[in-house]
A = this chain, B = another copy of it.
Amino acid sequence: MSNLSAVPEVALPPQGVVPCCSPLTSAELSTLDAERLANLFKALSDPVRLRLLSRVASHPAGEACVCDIADVGVSQPTVSHHLKKLREAGLLTSQRRRTWVYYRIDPSVLAALASLLNSSARS
């Protein structure tokens, strides 16, 4: 029996959802941009997902094994569900190595959101 049966996550390619946009203070959002950004913020709107994301983002190597971050007080299937949501939103990328999946943040997506919210950038 293969060890792969114990792998808690299936690595999926990120969807490449890098948001637009000018800072909120400089330009009005289009309907399309607002819909794309709302999906990203929805991925961030769960406390367990935020904790998982912060655990990956703050891990010393900038990368974390699911085995290092999953202790957030919910079941393993729930952790897997939330990690999948973060991957699908493009906030995390994943790579399988042997029996574990390793996660990284996508800095470009977080930086784009930070730029959007940076109200000091008023033009």
Interface residues, chain A, with chain B CB atoms under 8 Å away = 23-29, 31, 34-35, 37-39, 41-42, 44-51, 53-55, 57-58, 62, 73, 105, 107, 110-111, 113-120, 122
Contacts and interface: CB of A to CB of B under 8 A. Distances in A.
B25 A58 contact: yes
A110 B115 CA distance: 10
A117 B114 CA distance: 5
B28 A58 contact: yes
Given A44-B38, A50-B34, A114 B119 contact: yes
Nearest to A122: B62
A119 B57 contact: yes
A28 B55 contact: yes
